[in-house]
């Protein structure tokens, strides 16, 4: 039987359909391979993104290393790690393998190697930490111009001050620029020499607070704390502890916090605010007086909350010196460059660095171990300026001693 024209057309149409489907399947396979294969468009895009992220982390690491070297003469692995935390490359020191130098970044997570090769082993064998209290040139008794370096600490040279080669006392110029010591965890402190009268300055604004200020109770560490915990006895005990050693060490940075409750004095640390002066809720929450005393307490060195007189001695020491921008630091005159538009981690404003001490004028107000009688309720005193309010570093403010976001504190070391 001869097939009709209609049947022949139907056959051609079916063949065309089959061929079209086959071609589409082949094209779909090719396209799917291009999209999902090992050498696919998606993988290439992911690779390009990964390369860009990796490069960004490398650039941040390079910047952190340069900044650490600029801030610290003979920068160590600890200095680099502190700056990596500061730059938010890492959140904690454990993200750096100090044996291999590998850095495990924050999100997006990458492991970057080879950047810290120059610092490997720099702190492994010789920590440089003193085993006994001693001056840089081996003297057992220190003075204002040749201070004791406490056991468990080491001298640290900066861009502006050096301890020298250890054969003699530091030069007067270096002492006046702010000598720095560091413990085994990277906490840093600056020596405040005391050569004259150890007294409160009652002329600093606000004068009604300064003129009625008096020393607090309960802030001194044991062996310094007198039997009678009162204003006069505490002030005399503090004076004797400081002047007998020629000075004291003050934390280089505002009080910082690592984890939930570890007090630090480090660059780039989260500043410890929202803290009371006194212990609260029957000791359930510790105030800054207790926290400062617990930082270190041994036969060689003891810590405490900075007092009002110690703040004034620090003001006398830094007044008229050059800040981080080579401008004169006047403790009674505010400078806009030392006040930022937001609160920052510790040690970020070079304009607010003088004698190697950071944030005396800007960033947070700082609780100290001092009260005043000008105000009956808000008796506690805080010092320095605030990040957006241009008060000078010597300013005194009356406060209620409660926890708030504006206030941190600063602590000191007594050489024993």
> Is 104 in the same domain as 233?
no
For residue 266, what are its two tokens? 């480090």
The answer as to whether 174 is a domain residue is no
Q: What is the pLDDT of residues 309-356, one digit of tens each?
A: 999 999 999 999 999 999 999 999 999 999 998 999 999 999 999 999
Same domain (yes/no): 112, 221 = no
Asked, for residue 83, whether it belongs to a domain, the answer is: yes
Q: 31 in a domain, yes or no? A: no
The pLDDT of residue 288 is 97
pLDDT under 70: residue ranges of the chain: 1-12, 14, 16, 22, 27-49, 73, 121-126
C-alpha 301/C-alpha 324 separation (Å) is: 30
Contacts of 203 (CB under 8 A, 6+ apart): 210
Query: What's the pLDDT at 36?
Result: 59
Domains in the chain, number: 2
What does the pLDDT read at residue 29? Answer: 64
- Say yes or no: 88 and 231 in one domain: no
- Same domain assignment for residues 94 and 236: no
The residues, ordered by sequence, that sit 6+ positions from 329 with a Cβ below 8 Å of its Cβ are 318, 319, 320, 321, 322, 323, 354, 393
Asked if residue 149 belongs to a domain, the reply is no
Mark which of 85, 119, 153 sits at the end of a domain.
119
Of 95, 119, 143, the residue at which a domain comes to its end is 119
Q: 86, 119, 152: which is the final residue of a domain?
A: 119
Tracing tokens 């209290």 back to the chain, one arrives at: 133
Domain-embedded: residue 53: yes
The reply to whether 25 falls in a domain is no
What pLDDT does 99 receive?
Answer: 75
pLDDT confidence of residue 219: 98
DSSP string, 344-399: -STT--GGGEETTEE-SSSSSEEEEEEEESSSSS--EEEES--SSS---TT-EEEE
DSSP reduced 3-state for 91 = coil
C-alpha distance from residue 53 to each of 82, 96, 234 (Å): 22, 19, 56
Helix axes 231-243, 308-318, angle to 10 degrees: 40
For residue 299, the model assigns a pLDDT of 95
Please indicate, yes or no, if residue 247 is contained in any of the structural domains. Answer: yes
| 164 within domain boundaries | no
Q: Which domain does 380 fall in, by range?
A: 207-415
């Amino acid at each position: 039987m001869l097939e009709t024209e209609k049947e022949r057309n139907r056959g051609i149409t079916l063949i065309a359909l089959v061929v079209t489907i086959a071609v589409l399947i082949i094209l779909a396979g090719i396209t799917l391979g291009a999209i999902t294969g090992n050498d696919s468009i998606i993988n290439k895009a992911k690779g390009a993104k990964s390369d860009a992220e990796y490069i960004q982390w490398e650039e941040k690491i390079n910047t952190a290393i340069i900044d650490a070297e600029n801030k610290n003469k003979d920068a160590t692995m600890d200095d680099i790690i502190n700056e990596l935390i500061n730059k938010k490359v890492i959140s904690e020191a454990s993200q750096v393998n100090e044996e291999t130098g590998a850095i495990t970044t924050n999100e997006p997570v990458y492991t970057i190697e080879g950047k810290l090769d120059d610092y490997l082993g720099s702190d492994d064998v010789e920590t440089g930490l003193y085993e006994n209290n001693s001056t840089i040139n081996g003297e057992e008794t220190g003075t204002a111009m040749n201070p004791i370096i406490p056991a468990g600490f080491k001298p640290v040279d900066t861009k502006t001050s050096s301890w020298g080669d250890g054969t003699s006392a530091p030069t007067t110029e270096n002492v006046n620029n702010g000598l720095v010591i560091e413990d085994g965890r990277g906490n840093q402190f600056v020596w405040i020499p005391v050569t004259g009268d150890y007294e409160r300055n009652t002329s600093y604004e606000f004068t009604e607070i300064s003129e009625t200020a008096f020393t607090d109770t309960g802030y001194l560490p044991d062996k310094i704390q007198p039997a009678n915990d009162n204003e006069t006895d505490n002030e005399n005990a503090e004076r004797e502890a400081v002047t007998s050693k020629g000075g004291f060490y003050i934390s280089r940075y505002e009080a910082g916090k690592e984890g939930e409750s570890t007090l630090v004095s480090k660059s780039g640390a989260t500043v410890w605010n929202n803290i009371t002066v006194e212990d609260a809720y029957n000791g359930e929450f510790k105030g800054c007086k207790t926290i400062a005393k617990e930082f270190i307490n041994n036969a060689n060195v003891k810590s405490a909350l900075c007092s009002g007189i110690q703040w004034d001695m620090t003001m006398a020491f830094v007044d008229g010196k050059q800040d981080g921008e080579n401008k004169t630091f006047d403790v009674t005159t505010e400078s806009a460059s030392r006040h930022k538009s937001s609160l920052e981690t510790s040690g970020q404003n070079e304009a607010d660095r003088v004698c190697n001490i950071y944030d005396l004028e800007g960033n947070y107000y700082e609780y100290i171990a001092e009260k005043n009688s000008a105000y009956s309720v808000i008796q506690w005193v805080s010092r320095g300026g605030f990040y957006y309010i241009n008060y000078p570093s010597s300013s005194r403010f009356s406060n209620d001693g409660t926890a708030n976001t504006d206030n941190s504190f600063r602590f000191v070391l007594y050489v024993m």
